[in-house]
Structure 1
Amino acid sequence: MPLGRHVEPTSRIWPSGGVHLWPPGGTSDADSHDRGHLVYAARGVLSVHTERGTSIVPANRVAWTPAGFVHRHRAHGHTDMRIVFLPASLARLVPGRPAVFTASGLAREVLLALTGPREYDRAASARLRRVLVDELREAPEQPLHLPEPRDDRLRALARRLYDDPGDNTSLAELGQQVGASGRTLSRLFRDELGMTFHEWRTQVRVGHALVLLADGHDTAATARACGWANPSHFIAAFTAVVGTTPGRHRASG
């Protein structure tokens, strides 16, 4: 997905974590850390970009980036981004690759507590981080993930639909424009991205819908912009991917 402009957020940072308050469209520089970290959007929507692709992180998800992975964040809407760094003893208990987890109610409260105004002593902070990791180990991975294609034809197709997620051109017609048959593209989607074209395009559209909702668009306008003529079909697809309806998601932001 296209990145926004680099801006400096309003930040409070300490050794174990911090808070970044981003304006809409704000983007961080590419960076990596010697400790893995969790990010959570207490308000707004985040996208996390790594060499493996883009993950969209609404308020019911927590994103994990292991130590050493180059990454970049983008804010969609006014975004309150919370960061918690994990020591190596806890980082080894979660995946050694970027991942996105469902955020339980307890996980959200612990993330907010660890990054809130109250100061905890080292022992209390360590106990809270352990509770957080235990919650994530029990949580299902539920990424809204757009893997980065390697094939040039898939890249060209992806750029077109990133720019216009509401484009309803068929795969066969898209193939004519990028120089591959629909059958070849179907195989490439399965082999490279691990999903069908329909599944991938739904992920693109729902990701774009999260961005539009964060920017204040209503459900009907968002459905049209993302290629759904029938808002009820959009609501069903959005709920299946995100786990809540567009209306409830807007209210929670």
Structure 2
Amino acid sequence: MSTIGQDVADVDLTELVAGTRARLLTALHASASPRAWAAHDHEDHELIWGVRGVVTVRTGDEHRTVPPSAGLWIPAGVAHEVAASAGARFWTTHVARPVAPGLRGGARAVAVTPLLREVLLYLHNRLMPQDVREQAETLALALLDEAEVPPVLLPVPDDPRALRIARALVADPADDRTLAQWCAHVGSSVRHMSRVFGRETGMTFARWRVHARVRAATTLLPQGLPVAAVARRVGYRSPSAFVHAFGEVTGCTPGAYLRAVTVRPVAVSPWADDDEAWPIADTERVIGDSGGR
């Protein structure tokens, strides 16, 4: 089984691509305990998809939670941090750098349709004729497209005390302590912390908390929870207040969001055997002290 944090430094994506003429390599990752990786980048493009549990990615000052029914495209050379919750399971597909699937700019949400998901799972199998692999890769690259619903971005403050507050609210968005209570907790003044949030996130503390709650909701809605239950879990006392906040941040209702990102369940592929997971190539250029992923 390919395990999050497994040391696979002896596997080199560039050599695998050169040896098999493969342009896309897919790997499965799973772990029973929470894991995190410091800032690093890859020599190849990376698509994180098929998430079960919670997987968050930080690029620059933006945090993204990878939705279960979509994916996150991380271009080659873009530094990113990754964190996975206990029991999380996800797939990564690495795309050789010379390949340009039409996605430009920085990290962005990608629509993982049922067809794309099946093709990516099919490419998990290394034992196929080269002409068949090339056709499957061409189809997968043609299907890569930006998600219709943009991800909820959450700028993160650099100030150590503000960062403590931000991390606590990301971990528990239903925590309803006021800014004054948080400031007493971290040893700061309300005036100072208000300036910090405005300067470093571009939002007031209250607005930032709304974004944190809505971002958390985008990971809960695809799990099939009722809107009322999601509202309570992210800190809203009434579904109507939650729906209003969700619309302000995303521009759509929770129901519309769910319809845009939901795909049908996919049967386990014969190439998705947990015990035969293809280890991911470790072509990271480490910026911080990170484990292989």
Alignment pair present for 1:124 and 2:130: no
Give the equivalent residue in structure 2 for 1:160: 168
Q: Unaligned stretches of 5+ in structure 2?
A: 7-12, 18-23, 266-293
Offset at residue 47 of structure 1 (A): 1.8
Q: SS of the residue aligned with 1:121?
A: helix
Change (3 A) 1:140 1:71: same
Q: What are the Cα deviations for residues 137-184 of structure 1, in whole angstroms up to 9, with x where unaligned?
A: xx56723233331123322321332343212233344345542334x4
Alignment pair present for 1:232 and 2:240: yes
Measure the CA separation in 2 of the matches of 1:60 and 1:200: 25
Give the equivalent residue in structure 2 for 1:147: 155
**Counterpart AA for 2:115:** E
Alignment pair present for 1:87 and 2:97: yes
Offset at residue 190 of structure 1 (A): 3.3
Measure the CA separation in 2 of the matches of 1:41 and 1:75: 14
Greater relative contact order, per chain length (Cα 8 Å cut-off, separation 6+)? 2
Give the equivalent residue in structure 2 for 1:207: 215
Measure the CA separation in 1 of the matches of 2:172 and 2:54: 20
Alignment partner of 1:188 out of 193, 196, 218: 196
With normalisation by structure 1, the TM-score equals: 0.69
Offset at residue 90 of structure 1 (A): 1.0
Q: Percent identity?
A: 27
Change (3 A) 1:21 1:213: farther
Alignment partner of 2:66 out of 49, 57, 65: 57
Q: What are the Cα deviations for residues 176-206 of structure 1, in whole angstroms up to 9, with x where unaligned?
A: 5542334x43443333123332332123223
Change (3 A) 1:101 1:123: same
Aligned residues of 1:166 and 1:224 also touching (Cα < 8 A): yes
Alignment partner of 1:34 out of 43, 62, 82: 43
Bigger CA radius of gyration: 2
Q: Unaligned stretches of 5+ in structure 1?
A: none
Offset at residue 236 of structure 1 (A): 4.5
Aligned residues of 1:45 and 1:214 also touching (Cα < 8 A): no
Change (3 A) 1:125 1:6: closer
Higher strand residue share: 1
